[in-house]
Amino acid sequence: DQAQVADFITRVEDDGGPIDVLVNNASGFGTSDDEAGWQTGFEADLMGTVRASWKVAPWLAEQGSGSIVHVSSTAALEAPGSPPYSAIKAALISHAKNLAISLAARGVRVNTIAPGCKCFPYRFSRIFCTKTLRFRNSYHRFYFSNGSW
């Protein structure tokens, strides 16, 4: 919730001094395509990021420097699994782009990183990576089969 995020960030700044970098890496892993899955992803991934950015952006702008980093996922671009997770991670990319435009003149950088899956033979990642690799392979064959884009 907004008050808890604001209170936490204020305590961090009070205890450690000015904040120079905000890394938004929370995730509710909204893995089910139902009301609960969407709500979990929306509240944790998207609104947690937005609320933290609302709190820190004015401080960074006042300092004239700093960086905000949103951690998205390649799922935002490839849609290999859960619809809520993929859609919310795509929304983070859009939010970062808009925030970057609004803060650039004040010396604040906003970026998004989109890590891919790390395939290893355990639980969810094995299934997720298999789907992702199949998608990537078919995508590359389709677009690169004749040597051009």
The whole-angstrom separation of Cα 134 and Cα 81 is 12
pLDDT value, residue 58: 96
User: If DSSP codes are grouped into helix, strand and coil, which group holds residue 135?
Assistant: helix
Read off the pTM.
Answer: 0.75
pLDDT value, residue 119: 55
Question: 40-44, 53-57, 83-87, 115-119: which has the minimum mean pLDDT?
Answer: 115-119
- At 117, give phi and psi (nearest 5°): -75, 150
Q: Give, for 41, the enclosing helix (H) or strand (E).
A: helix 35-41
Catalytic residue among 85, 122, 139, 143: 85
139 in catalytic set = no
pLDDT value, residue 149: 37
**pLDDT tens per residue, range 8-49:** 888 988 898 889 999 999 887 767 899 988 998 899 889 999
Q: Which residue has the tokens 């980093």?
A: 69
pLDDT value, residue 97: 97
- Angstrom CA distances, 108 to 4, 51, 96, 102, 113, stand at 24, 17, 12, 9, 16
**pLDDT tens per residue, range 109-146:** 999 999 886 654 544 444 445 444 444 434 433 333 33
